[in-house]
Amino acid sequence: YPGTFAAPPQQPVNDPMWGYFTAIAGQDGEIDAEELQQCLTQSGISGTYAPFSLETCRIMIAMLDRDMTGKLGFTEFKELFAALNGWKQNFMMFDQDRSGTVEPHEMSQSINAMGYRISPQALNAVIKRYSKGGRIYFDDYVACAVKLRALTDNFRRRDQMQQGSVSFQYDDFIQCTMSI
Amino acid sequence: YPGTFAAPPQQPVNDPMWGYFTAIAGQDGEIDAEELQQCLTQSGISGTYAPFSLETCRIMIAMLDRDMTGKLGFTEFKELFAALNGWKQNFMMFDQDRSGTVEPHEMSQSINAMGYRISPQALNAVIKRYSKGGRIYFDDYVACAVKLRALTDNFRRRDQMQQGSVSFQYDDFIQCTMSI
Ligand SMILES: [Ca+2]
Ligand SMILES: [Ca+2]
Ligand SMILES: [Ca+2]
């Protein structure tokens, strides 16, 4: 398509993901958290790591579900899948011994590698929250990455002058933090 | 203790909770999320409802763990236990058929009953996030109550003029929302 900048609309039928998405989504063409968990497990994206917990699947949906139905369509699912592949590569890079966990100091590096600039104190709070027995498992790593992305997006959308500071009304604060 | 306003320091030895707290806490006198889950299960506080998930126990610790060790001492454990009893009573009041779940419209009433004033839109986002198959289970109900309390506390602490609006720096915003 020379001279065309927009990608041509994708034919979902030719997409390898389309098969198990539709099989699971059923008639409404959307998937909820339980169905997302099945989809992701069947896709094998967790590789040798444990499949995603239902809780993490709910956070994933909250991140992408812009129309607030609690479900994802195929486009949102594909967007999620692309993000997950990025996080998986990032995780594997830091989990060099393939133990299935990254250690706290590696987690700091990894959050930096994702492009977030946060203070040692904030990093410490995040790491504490997502560790089990001093280590971070893939499922929690992804939950952490999803939340960081969603909260940062929510913040940026309100920080239109890019001043690094946002004035929140209580109701808006609760809505944008409780839904994640 | 007439004329004395402060309660006398409690003798933990005479406290019925002290027994299983120390049995589980071991030498360091503090409990982490896994140990909290054991403690709460043994205490029977969930009654006929399913025991608390590890995820909910982690949120509980994040709410109370002011020194950021990822663990709770006995005082904090007692404070948590008191809050849990309140939420359980609240939940049972709305789960009148003892199905173990409350329905979305009852959840709205219940959040109002806890003293929070939030818009229908924010309520809707919260309910969507904590429902499974259109119902809210006790474990998720408590996770929701813990988060609402912690986020509201964090907000209030910064809203010293009580104007209902807080200006957050990005780092502070991430720290206070990611740790819950
Ligand atoms: Ca949707
Ligand atoms: Ca490792
Ligand atoms: Ca019920």
Q: Which residues have CB atoms below 5 A from the ion given as ligand 2? A: A 95, 97, 99, 101
* ipTM entry: 0.88
pLDDT tens digits, A32-62: 999 999 989 988 899 889 999 999 999 999 9
pLDDT tens digits, B118-137: 999 999 989 989 988 889 99
Backbone angles phi, psi at A101, to 5 degrees: -140, 155
Counted across chains A and B, CB pairs separated by less than 8 A come out at 128
pLDDT band, residue B23 (cuts 50/70/90): confident
Closest-CA distance of chain B to residue A125, Å: 6
User: What does the angle CA A23 – CA A29 – CA A35 come to, to the nearest 5 degrees?
Assistant: 60
A-chain residues near B170 (CB < 8 A): 118, 152, 155, 159, 164-166
A-chain residues near B58 (CB < 8 A): 129
Per the CB < 8 A criterion, the answer to whether B118 and B26 are in contact is: no
pLDDT tens digits, B71-90: 899 989 999 999 999 999 99
Per the CB < 8 A criterion, the answer to whether A25 and A72 are in contact is: no
Nearest residue on chain B to A143, alpha-carbon basis = B178
pTM of the model: 0.88
A-chain residues near B168 (CB < 8 A): 155, 165-168
Q: Which amino acid is at B3?
A: G
Q: What span, in angstroms and rounded, lies between the C-alpha atoms of A59 and A180?
A: 6
Note whether A121 contacts B175, CB cutoff 8 Å.
yes
Render the burial of A63-102: b for 16+ CB within 10 Å, e for the rest: bbbeeeebbbbbebbbebeebbeebbebbeebbeeeebbb
| DSSP single-letter state for residue A51 | P
End-to-end CA distance of chain A: 40
For A24, what's the count of Cα atoms within 13 Å in the CB-facing half-sphere?
24
Per the CB < 8 A criterion, the answer to whether B111 and B148 are in contact is: yes
> Which residue, B123, B151, B177, is CA-closest to A150?
B177
> Which residue, A132, A139, A94, A128, is CA-closest to A114?
A94
Note whether A165 contacts B164, CB cutoff 8 Å.
no
Q: What is the DSSP string of A21-40?
A: HHHHHGGGT-B-HHHHHHHH
